Amino acid sequence: MGVLENKSRARTFYKYLSKVYDRVNPFVWNEAMRDEALAMLDIDADDRVLDVGCGTGFGTEGLLEHTEHVYGLDQSPHQLQQAWKKLGKHDPVAFHFGDAERLPFKDGSFDVVWSSGSIEYWPNPVTGLRELRRIVEPGGQVLVVGPDYPNSAVFQKIADAIMLFYDEDEADRMFDEAGFVDVEHRVLQAKPGSPRAIATVARAPDQREGAD
């Protein structure tokens, strides 16, 4: 487990990163990448969408271009404070403080769930994915963006020491174990040579498919 796959360390990390996050973020996760990931989802104007690990609200802003019914959740109060500065504390987004592995929502509360730049900090990613499946309605879509596993053996060792990096095969395993179906991936990159992100879209099975 990487050093930042610890909730306390991650909160401390973001206490300082939140001050410069929006200036640093575009080098690894920019609007074009966000829009390409959003295009993998089918979001209707009346859909209720949750942004898990919303951070400073970068992904949240993209979701608002598709529906007015957007909710955000993050475990870092410092990241949420930055999101509030941009979007307000309650309107147009209902923000919540909470843990991706113990989401404070009822089963089937949302039509779509989005999470970008968050799974890499979850100590138990399959537990988190099961929570996403629980709170999305049967048949609803979930999209998760995380860091793609480096090709270099040296960078793989560095990555493993910091936080979760994974490839398509590992994403397939995690989403299958969490009970999702129709899993698809797309690798995104700001520019050649920059860190890659892997976007995975999947569907929560409906009752007829008998997921457990």
Q: Which phi and psi (to 5°) does residue 162 adopt?
A: -100, -55
- In the block, tokens 């987004």 appear at 93
Q: Report pLDDT for 64.
A: 98
Distance between CA atoms of 130 and 177, rounded to whole angstroms?
A: 8
- Higher-pLDDT residue of 11, 45: 45
Residue 2 belongs to some domain of the structure: no
Residue 1 belongs to some domain of the structure: no
Instruction: Report whether pLDDT(14) > 90.
Output: no
Residue 40 belongs to some domain of the structure: yes
Residue 82 belongs to some domain of the structure: yes
Residue 189 belongs to some domain of the structure: yes
Q: Give CA 19 to chain center in angstroms.
A: 20
pLDDT tens string 156-191: 565 566 678 899 999 999 999 999 999 999 999 999
Reported confidence tier of residue 6, pLDDT bands at 50, 70, 90: confident
Residue 14 belongs to some domain of the structure: yes
The set of residues, in sequence order, having a beta carbon less than 8 Å from that of 91 and lying 6+ positions away, is none
Q: What is the CATH number of the domain that holds 64?
A: 3.40.50.150
Domain count, the chain: 1
pLDDT tens string 25-74: 777 889 999 999 999 999 999 999 999 999 999 999 999 999 999 999 99
Residue 15 belongs to some domain of the structure: yes
Q: Report pLDDT for 12.
A: 81
Residue 142 belongs to some domain of the structure: yes
Is residue 151 within 8 A of residue 34, CB to CB? The reply is no
pLDDT tens string 87-121: 998 899 999 999 999 999 999 999 999 999 999 99
Contacts 24+ apart (CB under 8 A), 16-20: 18/56, 18/76, 18/78, 18/79, 18/81, 18/82
Nearest Cα to 146, choosing from 124, 112, 122, 176? Answer: 122
Domain containing 183: what range?
Answer: 7-209
Q: Report pLDDT for 149.
A: 86
